[in-house]
Structure 1
């Protein structure tokens, strides 16, 4: 049986290995509320923002809001910081992205 590592940040339990000190360098909005995220590790990963639940994230359903992310101190945010998500959360809930030459 494979061992699954767990960690807790702000009373939220996450599965996997925590990437401490990781930052978001770039975030590109894609269709379907997906984002292509580039991390300080050089990795690119796909993040589905529809997993972000609650009234705080409801404005992301508006295309104009979603399509205008900002990066501030390695965090992704929208609406001048009214909505933000930690890089650790984005990393743990994203999947690896591989670019292929076409």
Structure 2
């Protein structure tokens, strides 16, 4: 098991995702700072960001355009949030 594989993702307002990883780590990742260019430009289309899904093969969150976000970076962000909350 790779701990940072995404097992579940739920879109939230403001380009945020509530994510659960393979090792049970759970939290919210803010993707609002990702430039909305290239494959991410479609995030500005109404309802598109909400089409996020988890690719079971790769353990990444992705969208129909092929855009995906590195799960290890999201995992580290959630772990940092948890550490600073202590």
TM class, shorter-length? 0.7 to 0.9
Q: In the alignment, what sits opposite 1:93?
A: 77
Write out aligned runs for 1:1-102 (5 A): 21=2, 22-53=4-35, 55=37, 56-72=39-55, 73=57, 74-79=59-64, 82-94=66-78, 95-96=81-82
Say whether the 8 Å CA contact 2:36–2:42 is kept in structure 1. Answer: no
Structure 1: segments with no counterpart, 5+ residues: 1-19, 97-102
Question: Does the C-alpha gap of structure 1 residues 54 and 62 become closer, same or farther in structure 2, counting only changes over 3 Å?
Answer: closer
Rg larger for: 1
Say whether the 8 Å CA contact 2:36–2:43 is kept in structure 1. Answer: no
CA RMSD of superposed structures (Å): 2.0
Moved segments of 4+, more than 4 Å: none
1:54 CA displacement: 5.0
Question: Does the C-alpha gap of structure 1 residues 54 and 34 become closer, same or farther in structure 2, counting only changes over 3 Å?
Answer: closer
Task: Flag the structure with higher strand content.
Answer: 1
1:88 CA displacement: 0.4
Separation in 2, partners of 1:63, 1:93: 26
Separation in 2, partners of 1:29, 1:54: 16
